[in-house]
Every structure is written in C-alpha cells, then in structure tokens.
Amino acid sequence: MAENNEKNKVTMDKIVSLCRRRGFIFQSSEIYGGLNGAYDYGPMGVRLKNNLRDLWWKEMTQLHDNIVGLDASILMHAKVWEASGHVSNFTDPMVDCKQCKSRFRADQIDLNAPCPVCGTRGSFTTPRNFNLMFQTHIGANADAASTIYLRPETAQGIYVDFKNVVSSSRVKIPFGIAQVGKSFRNEITTKNFIFRSCEFEQMEMQFFCKPGTEDEWFPYWREQRFNFYTDKVGIRKEALRWHQHGPDELAFYAKDAYDIQFYFPMGWQELEGIHSRTDYDLTQHQKFSGKEMTYLDPETNQKYIPYVVETSAGLTRNVLMALSDAYEEEVLKGEDGKEDVRTVLHFHPNVAPVMVAVLPLVKKDGLAEYASDLEHSLREEFVTDFDTSGAIGRRYRRQDEIGTPYCITVDYDTLKDNTVTLRFRDSMEQMRIPVSEIESTIKKATKEYKRV
C-alpha cells in the first residue's frame, strides 16, 4: 500500500512541473522568455480555478440569503485609491543590491547579511518605499490628471457601490456584498509560483453590520470561512491553521484580523484574511466624495455608517492550495515486491477539472463507439474526458495525474450486458455497475467523498 518518504515529499518544483506537463498553469509569454509574476491557466487550470470560484460564489451568495453579488470594474476613479489610503500607504520597503541589481523587500531579508543572490556584503541601498499599484493613463493625454490605477484589491469597488446596492435591492443590514475578480500589485518579489503574482484573482465579501454587532459577526465569519475549506473544498484540516494579527501587523483602523494559513510547500502562509474593519472605508469615501455613505435603518429610523467584517481570499492562491494539498507521489508495492510510484491529485470531486473519464478497454470491435456514445450522454451532468490511447493502466495514471475522481471502463461484457467498471481514483477500487446507475452512483460517491 501507499507509504511516503522524503523523496516523495511535495515540493514546489514538482507542482510546477506537473502543472506545465498536464496543462494546469504556464508561465506567461513563455516563448518570449516569460514575464515574471504573470501566469496563464491552461485547459485543466482554468477548470480548477473556475470550480473553486463557483464553489465560493455558491457558498457566499446562494447559501447565505443575505449576500448579494457585484462585478465592479477594474479601472476606477483615482480618488477611490486616495480615499482608501492606497496612494499614500500601499507600499513595501524595497532595497536593491548595488552589486547584482537584485531587488528585495526590506522586511523579508536581513540587511546586515550578504546579498542572497550574489553574496556581496554591505551592498544594499537604504530602504525606500515602493507603491505596489500599477499606474496607467486613461484618455489620449498622459498627464497627471489622467493617471489611474489597476485596482490592487476588489473590496473598494464594493464600498463605492454600497449606496447603489442598498437603494436598488431589498437588502437590509446585516447583509454582505460578494465579488470575484482580478487584482494587480507590482510585487517586488514574486517567487513561489502563483502564490504571489502581479496579476491575480480575489474572492472578497464585505459584510455590513450595525456598529456594536461586529464582535458577533467576526467569529461567525471566521468559522464559516474555515469550514468552507475543510467541508467544501476538501482540504485536510491539519494543513490549515489560524494566525491572529499582532499589533504590528494590524492596520491602524482595524479592530481585529485573522488569517487562515495553509501549509504550502514552502511552509505556513496566508490563504485568506478575515478582518474587522470598522467604518473606516465608508467614512473615508464619504469624506473624499462628499456623498453620504450612511444607512437608514427602516425600522428604527436610525442613520449610521455601518461597520464591516471582510473575508478576503485569493482565488489563484486557492488554486495553489488545492494543488499542493491534493498532490501525492504514492509508493505502491506490487505483488512481486517491486515498487512503483503513482502521481495522483486527490482533488475533492467538487473542484476536480474532470469528473469522469470514459475509457474503452480497446479501440476495436465497437468498444470505442459504445464508450464515445456513453461519454456524450454523461456530458449534461458531468465534465467528462474520453481517452483511447495506450494501455488501460497508463490511461488510469494519466487521469490520476489530473485528479479525475472516477473512471469508467467499457469492455466486451459491456456490449453484452450494459455494465461497466467504475474505478475510484483514491482507493483504486473497482466496481461493476449497470450503465443506468452511473449517474446516481457518482453523485452519491461525490456527496459522501472523504479524503483518506
């Protein structure tokens, strides 16, 4: 059975290599030497990412009846980022090595130590603040008045539209607005694959509540968000933990903040932040726009600026988490005692890029045609794959590598009695079932899925 040792440890290199080999993630503009901090999601990657996004969207907007959705534009008025504090404060301290010109975040290295790239001592410039927002210009004139920014977070779009949502829908406080979309940060260091990129996607929800009730909603949302990862995304509990922000990490306006951390191949790192943000953002926008950002309670006639509890997750960082948690090089011992390594992604069926692969045992004698018809008939319900090339064992392994939870094999008996073999990815167990029961069996297995 399976056993693991150092050699089979999950490393970032192995994940990067599988992502490239199997069409999950590619370096952006690779044929031109690549662009740092930007990635392309291939045929498998885009499905994985969309599945994670859809799961989050359903969880937030469908399973909570007091949350509505929004899709604000990436380009916004420059004043938005002045009000939010990003223009003056969204900076990282940066140093350059005078010798090799490498650039580092001053808070991430020891400035008295030699340069980690070229080894020169005392070669760092004095730290200076570097704003992470990408600037561009709108309109024909590239002057200061036309400067705008690519949004560095999706949350501000929600604050700016707060009044529009309240006046156009029947939401009553407490309620939330959820949004998924691209964000951009000119990150100084972009190592660790898609963990920290310059273009990425966020899934954010701002929950507006009455001042004084935020301490009830904050633990509620912390619990909801943690359980989402274990129960819906199927992440192992031991790979997740809490990190509470200390006074040095907390934004000056924030009341409290916790990160959900995941054990990535490079160690424990932030996956999602849950923040108690007070009325800071709406108050700032009221100040800068001159427009009232208050809420009028229809029952008490009280007017106030709501408090906000925010849940802020990285979608692309979720992709890396799902891949890292799922990846296993399983050492299998055959009956002859020989060892064989099976690379498998143990995705929860909720997020797997392919749900069912239909495989004819051989191509001839009508098996491929039967299997192809069967695969077509399953498409309405599941994302399917069809593969006829190579020995059946090799085809199973290919599906294991992209994390397909179920394989259906069509053989000679199928032609006689309309039964197929259903193979389960994790246990590699096989069962014989009638074709008419494929759909219900897969749905039941998915509902009951537990990572072992």
Contact positions toward ligand ATP, by CB under 6 A? Answer: 153, 185, 187, 196-197, 200, 202, 270-273, 312-314, 316-317
Alpha carbons 176 and 312: distance in angstroms, whole number:
13
For the CB of residue 312, give the shortest distance to ligand ATP in the complex, in Å: 4
Closer residue to ligand ATP in complex, CB, 317/425: 317
For the CB of residue 445, give the shortest distance to ligand ATP in the complex, in Å: 31
For the CB of residue 394, give the shortest distance to ligand ATP in the complex, in Å: 35
Amino acid code (one letter) for 146: S
Closer residue to ligand ATP in complex, CB, 276/312: 312
For the CB of residue 317, give the shortest distance to ligand ATP in the complex, in Å: 4
Contacts of 133 (CB under 8 A, 6+ apart): 81, 86, 87, 90, 149, 150, 152, 184, 185, 186
Alpha carbons 336 and 134: distance in angstroms, whole number:
59
Alpha carbons 404 and 413: distance in angstroms, whole number:
24
Q: If we measure between CA atoms, which residue out of 396, 406, 423 comes closest to residue 348?
A: 406
For the CB of residue 92, give the shortest distance to ligand ATP in the complex, in Å: 8
Please check whether residue 407 is in contact with residue 422, taking contact to mean a CB–CB distance below 8 angstroms: yes
Amino acid code (one letter) for 400: D
Alpha carbons 259 and 270: distance in angstroms, whole number:
6
Closer residue to ligand ATP in complex, CB, 51/156: 156
154's tokens: 């999706």
Q: Which residue is nearest to ligand ATP (CB)?
A: 314
Q: Which residue carries 């098996």 as its tokens? A: 367
For the CB of residue 275, give the shortest distance to ligand ATP in the complex, in Å: 7
Closer residue to ligand ATP in complex, CB, 312/350: 312
For the CB of residue 279, give the shortest distance to ligand ATP in the complex, in Å: 19
Closer residue to ligand ATP in complex, CB, 153/411: 153
- Long-range pairs of 43-48 with CB within 8 A, sequence gap ≥ 24: 43/353, 44/353, 44/354, 44/402, 45/19, 45/319, 45/353, 47/353, 47/354, 47/383, 48/24, 48/319, 48/322, 48/323, 48/347, 48/351, 48/352, 48/353
For the CB of residue 277, give the shortest distance to ligand ATP in the complex, in Å: 11
In 284-338, the DSSP E strands lie at 295-296, 303-304, 307-314, 327-333
Alpha carbons 362 and 389: distance in angstroms, whole number:
9
Closer residue to ligand ATP in complex, CB, 16/367: 16
221's tokens: 């949302």
For the CB of residue 450, give the shortest distance to ligand ATP in the complex, in Å: 26
CA atoms within 13 A on the CB side of 303: 3
Closer residue to ligand ATP in complex, CB, 293/313: 313
For the CB of residue 165, give the shortest distance to ligand ATP in the complex, in Å: 21
Closer residue to ligand ATP in complex, CB, 195/370: 195
Closer residue to ligand ATP in complex, CB, 188/282: 188
- Long-range pairs of 388-394 with CB within 8 A, sequence gap ≥ 24: 388/359, 388/360, 388/363, 392/359, 392/361
Burial 2-31, CB ≥16 within 10 A → b, else e: eeeeeebebebebbbebbeebbbbebbeee
Closer residue to ligand ATP in complex, CB, 50/419: 50
